[in-house]
Amino acid sequence: MIKIWRLENKAGIGCYRALSIEGLKKEIGEFGILFLTMLLYRHDKTYEEHPTPSCDFGIERDIYPEEICGFLNKEQGEKWFNKNELEDLEKIGFKLKEIEVKKITAIGRNQVLAIK
């Protein structure tokens, strides 16, 4: 198995997809919803530091439904999310951790796409 770093909750859901899951929205509460919305907005608006996969050099395509986003190493994840953000994300159940994936499908300047 190949290892990548990813910010996800115990169920393996990433923070950017969490807002689309009704049950999870209840679980993370109002602060969590607002915080993740802010991160999602930044993801779309600051392409240099937080590009969508389609705007990340090396990927330059949309993410497929079976793929997840992650990082090649912990340092890349800590560059994407600062220390305060990581602390707040942990409060609502998301943690930057090393996970195993079946395959890395694309490598960008800021992130990787993979299949679990």
Letter string b/e over residues 33-60, b meaning 16 or more CB atoms within 10 A of that residue's CB: bebbeebbeebeeeeeebbbbeebeebe
List pLDDT tens digits, range 22-48: 778 888 888 898 999 988 887 755 567
**E-strand stretches of the chain:** 2-8, 68-70, 95-101, 103-107, 112-115
Length of the chain: 116
- Per-residue pLDDT tens digits for 52-109: 899 899 999 999 999 999 999 999 999 999 999 999 999 999 999 999 999 999 999 9
**Measured at the alpha carbon of residue 87, what is the angle toward residues 82 and 92, in degrees to the nearest 5?**
125
Helices and strands per DSSP (H, E), number in the chain: 4, 5
